[in-house]
Structure 1
Amino acid sequence: MAAGGAGGGAQVKSAVRTVELLEYFAARPGMHSLAEVQKAVGYPKSSLYMLLRTLVDLGWVETDATGTRYGIGVRALLVGTSYIDGDEVVAAARPALDRLSEDTAETVLLARLDGTSVVCLATRASQHHLRPVTRVGRRLPVHSTALGKALLSTYPDEQVRRMLPGTLSAPTEHTITDREELIEELHRIREQGYAVDREENTLGLCCFGVAIPYRTPARDAVSCSIPVARLTPARERTVRDVLFDARDRLLLATRRL
């Protein structure tokens, strides 16, 4: 069966349901009962069960020892890894990320815009004992992160308004949740060339980010995250400067992509 897609094309219902199921499990780690899944996705219970059993047989979904609870399978990991392994930007960015990691000794991320989120494509761990941990594949809100704000700043204001949801979530008490206030923040980011989130996404953590302008608007950005306990005005200036250097290196490395 097919249904009309948002772009006017036909969508195969079983394919859409398969993708929605995988996205459901990807967003909710752990194992879930058939009733939990059915309540969330709303599919008829009989067809949902058959679809889940098919995905289990193919390795995309796993079950627990009782065979009654379901979670994401190892095949999803293999496909996700192949995306990273085959991405030209990730490959080209490795030397610049290594250099940024050496220059700062802090946690470094490369991320890509995906709707109202940024998705981590590569990371370099901090050399300090006190450090944030962010895994490849993690999704972060676009409006509360330095990475996201740096990317949003490369879009016109009206397009940003269309991209953002009507209500902005508040991961912390410092998050900007007013859309017009965020637009004003993006104006400042355009002027200074980099974005900062001061405990807006994670308490105790300050992040600095720059967009990589190998295309316009940008889709990728790099950031450096520092616990506020280690942050001083002098340290902030140093991080800003090495981020600008990393941006230039990344732009050079990706200029033919």
Structure 2
Amino acid sequence: MTEDISVRKVKSAVRTVELLEYLAARHDEPARLREISDALGMPRSSAHALLRTLVGQGWVRSDNSGTLYGIGIRALLVGTSYLDGDPYLPLITPFLDDLRAQWDETFHLARLDGTDIVYLATRESKQYLRTASRVGRRLPAYATSLGKALLAERFGPDRDEHVPAELQSLTPRTITDRAALDRELDDVRVRGYARDDEENTTGLCCFAVPLRYCKPAQDAISASVPVDRLTPQRERDLIDALQTQGDKVTRVVRPVANGDRWFAS
């Protein structure tokens, strides 16, 4: 009896996490009860009860009619605490500041999480503005330069854990064939940097290098440039700058990472 109760509690926790992740992935598009129930394979009565509980705790918000649901402010507080508690961000972000000051492009820091990369910090170019901050955003690792830089550090089953069975197309240029992806990752490993050519965002080319202060690398930095003003010389210069700063980050952060219980190599 006690074991059955424990199992039910674990299932309830999994459903709660799945629901929150589903709502978070929708960004500013709220969901109806039927959509949530269908997406998660959950009975509507169970989904409704869970939603009302989470609304009461501030993890989910609903409209005045109680028919539309979105992620709540408590999720923001938890995400912010993760960033505040990360020992590496304060060490790495000054290098992003230097890159942006010198090159006036958009630079990112991201971490590999499952089959996705998660953006931890962004320094925007003053030449153009995005409609929303990328911090906290998730994208499939295989479709980004950041993700490919980190996947290239892994081999065999270790790589497989971070690549979904089916590669979905984000743009017409996304690599959706696993063999082609592996060949691309082999090239990334040899040349020391990754590139995505409008593979997750049309009109944008990105370059990334892994930060090897732990093994295998968990984090990477990248530069994003609109393709309409990217020249071969600009590309070479940005890659050189990323590799130089990446080496500096590794030397600064490695002593901290080697003593860290999460990422010790």
Post-superposition shift, 1:44?
2.6
Matched position secondary structure for 1:154: coil
Query: Where does 1:181-192 land on structure 2 (aligned, <5 Å)?
Result: 181-192=180-191
Aligned equivalents of 2:132, 2:63: Cα separation in 1: 28
Post-superposition shift, 1:131?
6.3
**Structure 1 match to 2:127:** 128
- What is the TM-score normalised by the length of structure 1? 0.91
**Structure 1 match to 2:68:** 69
**Structure 2 match to 1:6:** none
Q: Stretches of 4+ moved more than 4 A in 1?
A: 130-134
For residue 26 of structure 1, the aligned residue among 10, 24, 45 is 24
Post-superposition shift, 1:185?
1.2
Post-superposition shift, 1:103?
2.0
For residue 2 of structure 1, the aligned residue among 2, 6, 17 is 6
Structure 1: 5+ residue stretches without partners: 4-9
**Structure 1 match to 2:93:** 94
Query: Where does 1:101-140 land on structure 2 (aligned, <5 Å)?
Result: 101-129=100-128, 134-140=133-139
Structure 2: 5+ residue stretches without partners: 258-265
Post-superposition shift, 1:130?
6.6
Aligned equivalents of 2:129, 2:140: Cα separation in 1: 23
Residue 10 of structure 2 aligns with an amino acid whose one-letter code is: V
**Structure 1 match to 2:10:** 12
Post-superposition shift, 1:158?
4.8
Aligned equivalents of 1:227, 1:158: Cα separation in 2: 35
Residue 221 of structure 2 aligns with an amino acid whose one-letter code is: V
Change in CA separation of 1:176 and 1:129 when aligned onto 2, cut-off 3 Å? same
Contact 1:125–1:133, Cα closer than 8 Å, also in 2: no
Matched position secondary structure for 1:210: strand
Contact 1:31–1:64, Cα closer than 8 Å, also in 2: no
* Identity between Structure 1 and Structure 2 (%): 53
- What is the TM-score normalised by the length of structure 2? 0.89
In angstroms, what is the RMSD of aligned CA positions? 1.8
Contact 2:104–2:127, Cα closer than 8 Å, also in 1: yes
Residue 13 of structure 1 aligns with an amino acid whose one-letter code is: K
Contact 1:207–1:225, Cα closer than 8 Å, also in 2: yes
**Structure 2 match to 1:229:** 228
**Structure 2 match to 1:251:** 250
Change in CA separation of 1:131 and 1:49 when aligned onto 2, cut-off 3 Å? closer
Contact 2:116–2:162, Cα closer than 8 Å, also in 1: no
Contact 1:107–1:131, Cα closer than 8 Å, also in 2: no
Residue 182 of structure 1 aligns with an amino acid whose one-letter code is: L
Moved more, 201-210 or 123-132: 123-132
Post-superposition shift, 1:134?
4.7
Aligned equivalents of 1:117, 1:238: Cα separation in 2: 28
Post-superposition shift, 1:157?
4.2
User: Bigger relative contact order, structure 1 or 2, given CA contacts below 8 A and separation 6+?
Assistant: 1
Aligned equivalents of 1:133, 1:197: Cα separation in 2: 21
Change in CA separation of 1:240 and 1:122 when aligned onto 2, cut-off 3 Å? same
Post-superposition shift, 1:2?
3.3
Post-superposition shift, 1:73?
0.6
Change in CA separation of 1:126 and 1:133 when aligned onto 2, cut-off 3 Å? farther
Change in CA separation of 1:11 and 1:224 when aligned onto 2, cut-off 3 Å? farther
Superimposed CA distance per residue, residues 160-207 of structure 1 (whole angstroms, 9 cap, x where no aligned partner): 245322221121222221111111111111111111111111111110
**Structure 2 match to 1:220:** 219
Contact 2:114–2:161, Cα closer than 8 Å, also in 1: no
Aligned equivalents of 2:116, 2:123: Cα separation in 1: 20
Equivalent pairs counted in the alignment come to 251
Contact 2:141–2:162, Cα closer than 8 Å, also in 1: no
Contact 1:157–1:183, Cα closer than 8 Å, also in 2: no
Q: Does 1:37 align with 2:36?
A: yes
Aligned equivalents of 1:132, 1:148: Cα separation in 2: 22
